[in-house]
Every structure is written in C-alpha cells, then in structure tokens.
Amino acid sequence: MTQSPESGWVSSDESPTRSTGWKLFVILLVALAPLALIAYLASEQIESSEEATRRDAAASAANLGALRVNSALDSQRAILLRAANLIAMDGDPDLICADLKQELSVDARDRVMIFADGSGEPLCGLNGPEGDIRQAMLSNNSNGVTFLPDHGGLLVAWQGRSAESRAIAFYSNDDLVDIADPAGTMPLVHVELHQDNKSLTLSELPMRNKAHLGDHIKAQPQIAGLDLTVRLPRERKSSSQYLIRIIPFMMILAAAVIGWLVVTRMLVRPIRHLRNKMRSFAPGSEVTPMRSESMIAHEILELDDVFSRLATKVRTDKQALADGLDEQVKLTREVHHRVKNNLQIVASLLSLHARGAQNDEIARIYASIQRRVNALGVVHRHHFADTEASHGIALRDLICEVVTSFRAHSSKDNLDARTSLKVEPAQVDQDVAMPIAFLLTEILELIQNSDADGDITITVNSEGADDGFAHLTIASPTLGENPMLDAMLEGGVAKILQGLSRQLRARLEQDRETGRFSLPIRLFGTPATERHSDISASVAAARAGQSADK
C-alpha cells in the first residue's frame, strides 16, 4: 500500500475487479449489451436480406439462361439431325448441305460436322473448326456431351435415325454465355457446367473476387443433362457498414465508462481513501482528516470525522493501557524474584537438614528432594527469562543446567566425567520444559542410586521424528539389565516416569538391550539460534556454591 504526497490518496493492493466502480462498469455493460446486440442483429438481418435478394436475382438469371441454352441446342439439334437423316436416306448431299448452310447462322457453320455414310468423313462441306478441336470432333464416337476444358468449350453429339447418321457441334464457353445471356443483363457471376465429377468453367471472375465466392446456385432445368451453377462473389463490407455495426457497442461502452468515472470520482475513491486510512491506522497514531472537496459526498466526510475522533480516543486509551501494563510487568517481575528466592531458601533448608540428618538414608532423601526443587527453579528461571523474547525455553540450556545442578549435589565424585550431552538447538514451552526437567532428574537419580559405573549420554535430535518433534534419549549401561534399577522402578519410580510422559503426551520407551530411555517431545515453533552454554563453567559455579554451603 503506497501513498502519494501530492494527492494524499492511498493506492490499494487489492485487485481492481473487486471495486464497486468496476462492478458498476460490468453491470452497465451487461444491462445495455442486449440493446447493442439487437441493433447488431438488425443490421445483420438487413445485410442478409440484401444478400438473399442478390441470390434470388442470380438464380432467376441462371434459370432463364438455362432455358435459352436448351432452346438453342434443341433448335440446332433438329436442323442438324434432319440434314443427317436426309443424306442417310440417299438424299442429294449437295442440295441438303446448301439448305443447311442457309438455315444455320454464320458463326455456327464452322463448328458443325455431319456424318451420314459411315466413312468417318464429314459431309456437306461443313468441316468444323481447324486444329485440335477438329481432331477431337473426328475422333468422337459417343453421343452426348464431352468437355474440352483445354480448348475452352464442349462437344455435343446427336445420333440420327440410322447408325451412320450423326451430328456433332462444338460450343465455346463464350458461345454458351452469349446464348444464355444475349443482352448481358446477368449479374457478375462465376458460371460452371457440371457432369458427374467433371466441371467446365464458362465464365470466370477477376482474381480479386475469386477468393470471396459464395455457395453454388443450381439452375433449373438442366442443359443436355448438365447442371448449370453460378456463384456470386460476396460483397465486401464498406467502412460505413462496419461503423453501423460497432456504433451501438461504442455507445454502450461510453455510457459504462461515464458511469464508472462518476461513481469512482465521487464515491469509490473517497471511500477507498478512508478504508486505506483505517487499514494503516495503528492504535496510538495520529490521523489526518480528509480534505474537504466538492466532489466528495458529505456523508463520507462525516464518516471520516467520526473516525478521526475515534482514533484520538483510542490513542488516549492506549496510553492508559500501556501505563497499566508497565505496572503489571513490574509486579510480575517482583513475584518472579520472590518465587525464585523462596525456591532457593527451600533448597538451602533442605541442604541444612541433610547435613544434620541422623543417618545417610535420611540425608540421601533430603538431597533427592533438593535436586527436584533445584530442577523446578531452573525451569522457572528459564521460563521468565525467555518469555519476553517469546521464543520458548532453550532446550540445550535447560538440560545443561539441570545436569550441572544434579552434578553439584551428587554424592558420586565421578559423575562429572560420565555425563555427555548431544543436544540440537531447539526450544520448548513451559508445559514441556517442566516434565523434561523432572524426567531427567528422576532418571539421573535412578542411575546414581543403582551403584553402577558407566557413561551417561543425553541426546536430543530431530532425525526420524515428525515435523515439530524431536527425540529425547538418556542412555547408560546402568539402564540395561540391572536388578537394583528394576527394584527402584517397581517401587514407584516407574509410575512417576509414566505420569511425566503423560504430561508430555508421549510414550516413554525403555530399551533394556541398549540401556536407554527415549520419548518424542514437542518443539516450540522452529529451532532458534542456539544459545551456547559453558558446561564446565556451570559445574564450577555449582561446586563453588556447594562449598560455600558447607
């Protein structure tokens, strides 16, 4: 969240799609979109109607052209077959051919061949066109229509009454188009003839129009068994047509933008500024009232004034609470010192009673109680020292001091050299630290009272443990197969250890073969930086205190 010193507005880190202005913008778009869609569909309908009118006109022209071509083919077929039949019936070829030339149009005389005597040569002097087209007509032995796309036309062959009488005519593409549309009134279209899977293009459009051809429009009726189809080029939309389509959407967008600007400037931005001021407000800090502007709603200014007065009251109350809290902290520290001093007094009294005991058994009991009181004092002192930092009690320091205190009050001289620590840096809370201190004291008490020699290893590591847990292990040969240890456990120590493990919400496991006690302990948050302790220095200090008591 940032603040501009010039404007005083505080920008929000939230997505703009969640703001009221954006929601209003979307609502206006959604509400007005149907109107724009209706206008768009209306323009589409008008263009579709115009396109349908063009298609109908092209279809009518194609149908009329097909009728004209059929009529022309039927007329020439009748003339040519009559001449072929007369020659086949031993008529005078010269006379018949002369009459045929009179009946045929001038441009049709050079594209017709008459066969009547089976010789394979045309009669009547109508030799047809020259070159490849003539060769194609001479080699054609089938009746019907044959496409000659390479020569730009088609052949039409008719069978007369006899097997020898035949007539063949060649029609170029231009001839067929002229027959279909003699006046040139047909619109600009792409015209094709289709026979099965073959096609012949009669009229092509310019290249700029061929890429925008519409669907095929089939003419009725057929031409000599062929389908005549036309294809209209799609009209390119002009800029005015595009403008007519987008104007409704532009109007809706303009209305939504204007509505968004009005709401954002007059309502949303002042409210957002007030919200950000509330969000950045820290109890005890001063609040600057919002600038009074004509574009800001009066109700928002009143709300800002109420918040400013409330912030002033909170600042006053916070100062009073801070003063009271300081007083409570002082009282708590005083209680802490008194509790710690009382525990030290109790430990000193136990030490004095142990010295004046009638026998060693009573002195041992006093020393055992004193060690437990010292363990409680260690936890209490570490808890108060670490509470202010709010990161728990350092487990290594706690174990070091418990072991050091136990060494200082131990009745065996060689316990110092027998104990080693392998503790990873970790923290625990008071609910875990208290049972751990007593558990260590009880197990060390067992080892000391078992009258057996052997090293003692205390280990804390997270290897193989669940997240947030670590394994606490106390290992010593004394904890293995030991009759004295079993007797003390059966005498009530086992129940004490089980009770302490229940406080830790864990199961205390004893391995007789390796001689160890182990259980999982819950850690306090993530491991913090280890606070190193000098064990030797702690031992020396404890011994010095013991010597002073004596």
Question: Furthest-apart CA pair in the chain: how many Å?
Answer: 172
**So what's the pLDDT on residue 452?**
65
Task: With both helix axes pointing from N to C terminus, report the angle between 173-180 and 20-88 in degrees, rounded to the nearest 10.
Answer: 100
Q: Establish if 364 belongs to a structural domain.
A: no
Q: Establish if 261 belongs to a structural domain.
A: no
Q: Establish if 200 belongs to a structural domain.
A: yes
* Domain termination residue (choose one: 233, 262, 281): 233
Number of structural domains (the chain) is: 2
Q: Establish if 217 belongs to a structural domain.
A: yes
By the 10 Å C-beta count (0-12 exposed, 13-18 middle, 19+ buried), 363 is classed as: middle
Q: For the full predicted model, state whether its pTM sits above 0.85.
A: no
Query: Domain range holding 474?
Result: 389-549
Distance (Å, rounded) from C-alpha 370 to C-alpha 9? Answer: 67
Q: Establish if 38 belongs to a structural domain.
A: yes
**So what's the pLDDT on residue 550?**
39
Dihedral Cα 90, 94, 95, 100, nearest 10 deg: 100
**So what's the pLDDT on residue 125?**
55
Distance (Å, rounded) from C-alpha 400 to C-alpha 437? Answer: 10
Q: Establish if 4 belongs to a structural domain.
A: no
* Domain termination residue (choose one: 213, 233, 253): 233
Q: Establish if 187 belongs to a structural domain.
A: yes
Q: Establish if 384 belongs to a structural domain.
A: no
Distance (Å, rounded) from C-alpha 415 to C-alpha 408? Answer: 10
* Domain termination residue (choose one: 233, 264, 280): 233
CATH number at residue 435: 3.30.565.10
Distance (Å, rounded) from C-alpha 320 to C-alpha 284? Answer: 11
Distance (Å, rounded) from C-alpha 495 to C-alpha 485? Answer: 14
DSSP letter (8 states) at residue 411: S
Contact 493, 461 (CB under 8 A): no
**So what's the pLDDT on residue 290?**
80
Residue reference for tokens 């491991």: 527
Q: What is the pLDDT along the chain (550 residues), one digit of tens a residue?
A: 444 433 344 444 455 556 777 888 888 888 888 888 888 888 888 888 888 888 888 888 888 888 888 888 888 888 888 888 888 887 787 788 778 777 776 555 457 777 776 666 776 655 566 777 777 887 777 788 888 888 888 888 888 888 778 888 888 888 888 888 877 666 677 788 888 888 887 877 766 666 567 677 888 888 878 888 888 777 777 777 778 888 888 888 888 888 888 888 778 888 888 888 888 888 777 787 787 776 777 788 888 888 888 888 888 888 888 888 888 878 877 776 777 778 778 777 777 777 777 777 777 777 778 777 777 777 767 666 555 445 678 889 888 888 888 877 766 654 554 788 999 988 888 788 888 988 988 888 888 887 667 788 999 998 878 888 999 999 998 888 888 888 888 888 889 899 889 988 889 999 988 889 999 999 886 443 333 333 333 333 333 443 444 3
**So what's the pLDDT on residue 8?**
41
Residue type, 399: I
Contact 268, 261 (CB under 8 A): no
**So what's the pLDDT on residue 236?**
72
Q: Which residues contact 193 (CB under 8 A, 6 or more apart)?
A: 147, 154, 176, 199, 200, 202, 223, 226, 227, 228, 229
